Amino acid sequence: MSKTHKQTETDTQLSASIMKHRLKGIMILDLAGKIKVVNEAFSKITGYSDEEVLGKMPTFLYSGRQGEHFYKKMWHQLSVDGEWQGEIWNRRKNGTIYPEWISISGIPSEAGEIIHFVAIFSDITERKLSEERLVYLAHHDILTDLPNHRLLKERLIQSIKQAERKQQKLAILSIDLDHFKEVNEAFGRTVGDELLITIASRLKSTVRDSDTISRLSGDTFAILLAESSEIEHTATIAQKILHLLSTPITLDGHRPIIITGSIGVSLYPEDGTDSKSLFTHAEQAMTRVKNQGRNGYKFYSEEIGARSLERIELKMAIRRALERDEFELYYQPKLDLKTGEVTGLESLIRWRHPKKGLILPADFIPMAEETNLIIPIGEWGLRVACEQSRRWRDKGLPPLRIAVNFSARQFQQENLVENVCTVLQETNLEPAALELEITESIAMDQVDKGIKTMNKLNALGVRLAIDDFGIGYSSLGYLRQFPVHTLKVDQSFVKNLPQNKDDAAITAAIIAMGHNLNLEVIAEGVETKSELTFLQAHDCDGVQGFYFSQPLPAEQLETFLKRGTYKNLLKK
């Protein structure tokens, strides 16, 4: 029998064998890995006809889910053991990816040498879906489709590990519906179930995608707030939940149902560093709410609860202050150390609280920064300062440059330059009459972007000053790139002059460096004659501080400006 005849007979036998398998896909490969034969089930599963695949490598089936290393390892085992089986994700002709269970074995010749490989596979999509469904049901509540206690615990454990690694906080909220049993008794279990589904939907609207809402039991829910860095954020969520729960719910065929909730909150790491203690303490806090009349929330730590409430009230008060025009600008003069003349003014915000009186920035600006309220506050301050400068000029007062402090969030705004330009145009104030003060740390945050913004402001004609210089990075390399006109020596150095040798050396160095860079140097916070004398001796250009004047409201500043120079105060 010739070799060609033998090969034909072998192929015939292989084809006959393949035709017996109509449920499982089969393909036979030669030693080079090319497809020699496929059966009907192969075409049915993959979508490829035999004409499209014969003579090709099976790489056209690869889905990309398994990398090159996976296939190298598979072929290595085939070459060593002569067989391999496992799960592979392949791609059909229509592009869909599907899982299959495949067994690959070597087919030996009469001499015992492997001459072919046969791959037998089946589509296991339905089995995988069933497995996934079982896993899903094991981790979710059937009624509300929310994660159950098991899944919540798993996520909490992972969140604790992440919080520990990143030194972040997280919170657990234990939520119990008030008098839910009475709703069931009055309307029946079907209505009760519909109510729970509606409440679950409402709860979803209160949190981020990264948080987890869980139904623990009949009328008890829990929320994991992952990466919750601020206590007041947690308190705000609790308040939002209480509001949503108390909003009447109308179900088909029934009058509106009003239900409230009791919420207990525990925080990581303050109230516990493991899942059990955090759950327990949240439930204990919730029980305290129940015992004290329901329809409220409490932190496990009473001290934290009081502090969070105070901060929330402050945030709301700041928002109201904007709406009610309770903010004011005060102005502190800057004096030239050689002439004694007032050369400029720094605008400083104050809050005229209706009950607490005048509040200084340190007591509310940090909260405004955290809540982004600093943006509208900053825009208000810029406009009012420019309007006031315009009014003084119209009255014939000296055309003094007015300085406005910019916060980090303001400086990072994409439309910052456009906003400044608009305010200058609408107040009819020339750009050179405005100086914007930014801190050293703000300038160093996203340096390239900051330099672009400063260049645009400089091109506009606005002057720029680096405030609080010396307490941040103090990078001479970057300072040379900043298109600034003024350095302001931080008052923390000035207040110890001249007795503190380190502060004296730093202040002298800043003045010298500023002059070498052709910058004006202003010392802030000057309060004593000895501080003034030191600054004069080191040729500081200007000063501001209580030694000359505290910040004044606009009306009082007008009187101050009419006095003329203050050369007598500069006498050594």
Residues of the chain with CATH 3.30.70.270: 140-314
Q: Is 408 exposed, middle or buried (0-12, 13-18, 19+ CB in 10 A)?
A: middle
Helix (H, G, I), strand (E, B) or coil at 316: helix
Beta strands in 322-397 (DSSP E): 327-336, 342-353, 357-359
* Domain 140-314 belongs in CATH node 3.30.70.270: yes
DSSP state of 482: S
Listed in order, the ranges of the chain carrying CATH 3.20.20.450 are 325-570
Which residue is associated with the tokens 């869909």?
96
Residue 252: what are its φ and ψ, rounded to 5°? -55, 125
Q: How far is CA 174 from CA 145, 266, 307, 416, in A?
A: 18, 9, 20, 43
Q: What is the pLDDT of residue 7?
A: 55
- Strand pairing report for 170-177 and 220-225: antiparallel
Buried b / exposed e along 380-394 (16+ C-beta atoms within 10 A): ebbbbbbbbbbebbe
pLDDT of res. 11: 54
Question: Cβ-count burial of 494 within 10 angstroms (0-12 exposed, 13-18 middle, 19+ buried)?
Answer: buried
Preceding omega of 361 cis (within 30 degrees of 0): no
Alpha helices in 147-228 (DSSP H): 149-166, 180-187, 189-204
Q: Which two tokens stand for residue 307?
A: 């502090």
Residue 572's pLDDT is: 57
Looking up tokens 């609080």, which residue turns up?
468
Give the model's pLDDT for residue 1. 44
Give CATH 3.30.450.20 domain extents, the chain: 3-124
Closest of 414, 480, 415, 410 to residue 442, by C-alpha: 410
CA 487 to the chain's CA centroid: 33
pLDDT tens for each residue of the chain, 572 residues long = 444 555 555 555 555 555 555 678 999 999 888 999 999 899 999 999 989 999 999 999 999 888 888 988 988 888 888 889 999 999 999 999 999 999 999 888 888 888 889 999 999 888 888 888 888 888 899 899 999 999 999 999 999 999 888 888 899 999 999 989 888 888 888 888 999 999 999 999 888 888 999 999 889 999 999 876 577 788 889 999 999 988 888 887 677 888 899 999 998 988 889 999 999 999 999 998 998 889 999 988 877 766 667 777 788 888 899 999 999 999 999 999 988 889 999 999 999 999 889 999 988 888 888 778 899 999 999 999 999 999 999 988 888 999 999 888 888 888 899 999 999 999 999 999 999 998 877 777 777 888 899 999 999 999 999 887 776 555 566 677 888 999 999 898 999 899 999 999 999 999 999 999 999 999 999 999 999 999 999 999 999 999 989 999 999 998 888 776 666 666 65
Distance CA 154, CA 479 (A): 50
pLDDT at position 249 is: 86
pLDDT at residue number 27: 92
Contacts of 162 (CB under 8 A, 6+ apart): 168, 226, 227
Give how far the C-alpha of residue 319 lies from the chain's centroid of Cα atoms, to the nearest Å: 22
Q: d(Cα 484, Cα 513) in Å, to the nearest integer?
A: 14
Residue 500, φ and ψ in degrees, nearest 5? -85, 110
**353, burial (CB in 10 Å: exposed 0-12, middle 13-18, buried 19+):** middle
The pLDDT of residue 10: 54
CATH no. of 325-570? 3.20.20.450
**CA-CA-CA-CA torsion sign (358, 360, 365, 367):** negative
Helix axes 302-323, 374-394, angle to 10 degrees: 40
CATH top-level class of 3-124: alpha beta
